[in-house]
Structure 1
Amino acid sequence: MEFVQQLHMIGGIGESSYANNSLLQRKVISMTKPITEAAIIARFSTVTATIPRTLTIADLGCSCGPNTLFAVSEIISLMIDICNAKKHELPEFQVFLNDLPGNDFNTLFRSFLPGFQEKLSEQMKSKYGASVAPACFFNGVPVRSMGGCLLGRVYTSFFVVQPPLAVSSPRGLEENKGNICMARSSPPSVLRAYNELFQSDFSTFLESRGQELVAGGRMVLTLLGRRSDDPSSEEYRQFWELLAVDLNELVTEGLIEKEKVDSFNVPYYSPSPKELQWEVQKQGSFSIDCLEVFEVDRSVFETDFDPNVVSEEAADNMVGCLRAIAQPMLVDHFGGEIINEVFKRFRAKLGDRLSKEKIAFVNIIISLKKIT
């Protein structure tokens, strides 16, 4: 459980918080909206489809910030349209906001939830002239099963999920010295350890969701991935290897111990489309409706994007995004004294790399249907 405690984003609404450094995630949710809509329409828009009195929506890995309610809002909005077209009474919406125990649920409910119902009421009034918004009941659900990871059973049953996906910490990484992730210099045993843990974790995730989803229920997963079948490919490791360089520099300068770097490995795996497809088919609880790969480039991090000029804003926002994710793990392992120096160096290296090459984030979206 000690390891799980560090797996959370920076909370609050400060400068380094996840709430203020999640532009990439917002863009991904926006880009995957058509697939999420297609999953819901396929389930409810037919003549014979039954709309339940209560529709349950679960966001596994909700984190804290404006993005948390963005996907939920889009789902509810679409259901309002479907019910209006079918002349059907609106269901009640039961929304589960789920994350690890270290997530900042207090800020989520205090700072971001209050305006949700008001905006929903305004939408109902402007679109349909209705004065009453649908009933929405929100629940914050810290995960306690499977060692605290987003893998095991959480709910009795639910309908739509739109989570990011992470893996728990692999074992057998003693030989990954000087690296903090799967790198070109990582020995085969390290690559194998990450891959085997991904297979085990994702299979458990699918099995648990299969028990929770209603028959015919849909699940939409969005996650960072890779196009290549090579698990150590550049598209996966570009940010983490820059961070590893920073940490090894601090070792050389005597600011941190070499053993500390050698024993630090990021609990993160980016699967390929083939890996996802294989695991879904092997586990057997779901059929695949859609699987797409797309890239998000640095334009999402810039207010006025110019493909010929790399702005300081792009580099600053990229660093902020990584820091909001990685800082709790780094502080837990290395202590807080080095954090500012680590990200100062990371910012300099990232700015140099952006000036020389394209950096894009590979994302995978997969829409699944519960097999009845």
Structure 2
Amino acid sequence: MDVEKVFHMTGGVGKTSYAQNSSLQKKASDMVKHITMETIQELYYAETPKSLGIADLGCSSGPNSLSLIKDIVEVVEGTSHKIFHPLPEFRVFLNDLPTNDFNSVFKSLPDFYRDLKKERNEGGPAIFIAGYPGSFYGRLFPNNCLHFIYSSYSLHWLSKVPPALYDEHGKSINKGNVYISVSSPPIVSQAYWNQFQEDFSLFLKSRSEELVTGGRMVLIVLGRIGQDHVDRGNSFFWEILSRSLAISVSQGEIEQEKLDCYHVHFYAPSKNDIEDEVRREGSFELDRLEMFEIEREVKGGESYGTAVAMTVRAIQESMLCNHFGDGIDLDTLFKNYGKIVDEEMAKQEMKPITFVVVLKKL
């Protein structure tokens, strides 16, 4: 499966869209907003460029991407006034894979520009926003054209499913599991770790060429607490997807063989994983690395399991449909998913953790 051609968040603004099911991501972004804004402020104090280059990598198609840009503009405006420096122009590049619903982002731009002008009595900064489709595992932008890079909930997605998950005959070595599980052989964890190393190193190398010296990155990424890849955090949500798909197999909706060869291109790094790779690649100084948890929050009348199921569906729908075809009943699949989440939460809390990473180009 070519991840770059298939993977995307569910577009539009319907009930199962990412736009309607990305409140968790927005909450995480808000929780570390002070870190993001401090970083952009420090950068601007140090560089005071006339033209500020900003990229949001993995911008997706919901309301979250443009809200970040608005926050950055406001912080830079305030800083400019403090130091009596002319306000720079803003060059903003929104990046995601080519199949992303960029149209919904572009359709919201007129309102975005109008609101900015309205708040500033028809004045305001010059902001130029462009879409940059493509994988961030490789070069996207010209040399030294960016000052600040932001990526939220994107870097735990690998460039591909690790090839080592399949033997020389193309058969899965991790049957019945979509990710690393208790029943997975040790080589599965190693395969995912190797792919993360390869991808994250390429990401850092590519960004180091695109950022000016002293440029900053703020990365928000799902992770894990310890060295064990299997816990009741982010890996457990994939365990629940495996169980839900197994129910679909038992009901004759999908074939066991199809389930056996379905694996997610995901990796939840540990703190050490991130630190070691930054150090090994050598282009960046690690300014900050903090771990946090997001409190459970659900809409009125909705169970936690249902909320989680809708979020996972908005993220996985494109991949599931491509792999299993039209025969898969996603409504039933994710109804079962939500039910299992609620049952598990009644037994023991699940604690997915997130890292915020701040890097400075050397």
Query: TM-score interval w.r.t. the shorter chain?
Result: over 0.9
Sort the Cα spacing of 1:113 and 1:313 in 2 relative to 1 into closer, same or farther, 3 A: farther
Give yes or no for the alignment of 1:106 onto 2:97.
Answer: no
The SS at the match of 1:255 is coil
Q: Name the counterpart of 1:32.
A: 32
Give yes or no for the alignment of 1:22 onto 2:25.
Answer: no
The CA deviation at 1:44 is 2.6
TM-score, length basis structure 2: 0.93
Q: Name the counterpart of 1:71.
A: 68
Q: CA RMSD in A?
A: 1.5
Q: Name the counterpart of 2:141.
A: 155
Q: Name the counterpart of 1:9.
A: 9
Q: Name the counterpart of 2:120.
A: 124
Sort the Cα spacing of 1:50 and 1:293 in 2 relative to 1 into closer, same or farther, 3 A: closer
Asked if structure 2 preserves the Cα contact closer than 8 Å seen for 1:43 and 1:217, the reply is yes
The CA deviation at 1:313 is 4.3
Sort the Cα spacing of 1:3 and 1:44 in 2 relative to 1 into closer, same or farther, 3 A: closer
Give yes or no for the alignment of 1:208 onto 2:206.
Answer: yes
Q: Name the counterpart of 1:344.
A: 335
Give yes or no for the alignment of 1:90 onto 2:87.
Answer: yes
What is the alpha-carbon distance in structure 2 between the residues aligned to residue 134 and residue 274 of structure 1? Answer: 41
What is the alpha-carbon distance in structure 2 between the residues aligned to residue 113 and residue 313 of structure 1? Answer: 34
Q: Name the counterpart of 1:307.
A: none
Amino acid at match of 1:293: M
What is the alpha-carbon distance in structure 2 between the residues aligned to residue 323 and residue 332 of structure 1? Answer: 14
The SS at the match of 1:224 is strand
- The residue correspondences of 1:159-308 to structure 2 (distance < 5 A) are 159-163=147-151, 164-165=154-155, 166-168=157-159, 169-173=161-165, 174-299=172-297, 301-302=298-299
Amino acid at match of 1:118: R
TM-score, length basis structure 1: 0.90
Gaps of 5+ in 2: 166-171
What is the alpha-carbon distance in structure 1 between the residues aligned to residue 139 and residue 277 of structure 2? Answer: 18
The SS at the match of 1:336 is coil
The CA deviation at 1:213 is 0.4
What is the alpha-carbon distance in structure 1 between the residues aligned to residue 61 and residue 73 of structure 2? Answer: 19
The SS at the match of 1:256 is coil
Structure 1 residue ranges (4+ consecutive) displaced by more than 3 angstroms after TM superposition: 122-125
Amino acid at match of 1:238: F
Asked if structure 2 preserves the Cα contact closer than 8 Å seen for 1:71 and 1:162, the reply is no
Gaps of 5+ in 1: 126-130, 144-148, 304-310
Q: Tell me the matched-pair count.
A: 349
Q: Name the counterpart of 1:306.
A: none
What is the alpha-carbon distance in structure 2 between the residues aligned to residue 356 and residue 82 of structure 1? Answer: 49
Question: Percent identity over the alignment?
Answer: 41
Give yes or no for the alignment of 1:358 onto 2:356.
Answer: no
Q: Name the counterpart of 2:169.
A: none
Q: Name the counterpart of 2:168.
A: none
Give yes or no for the alignment of 1:321 onto 2:321.
Answer: no
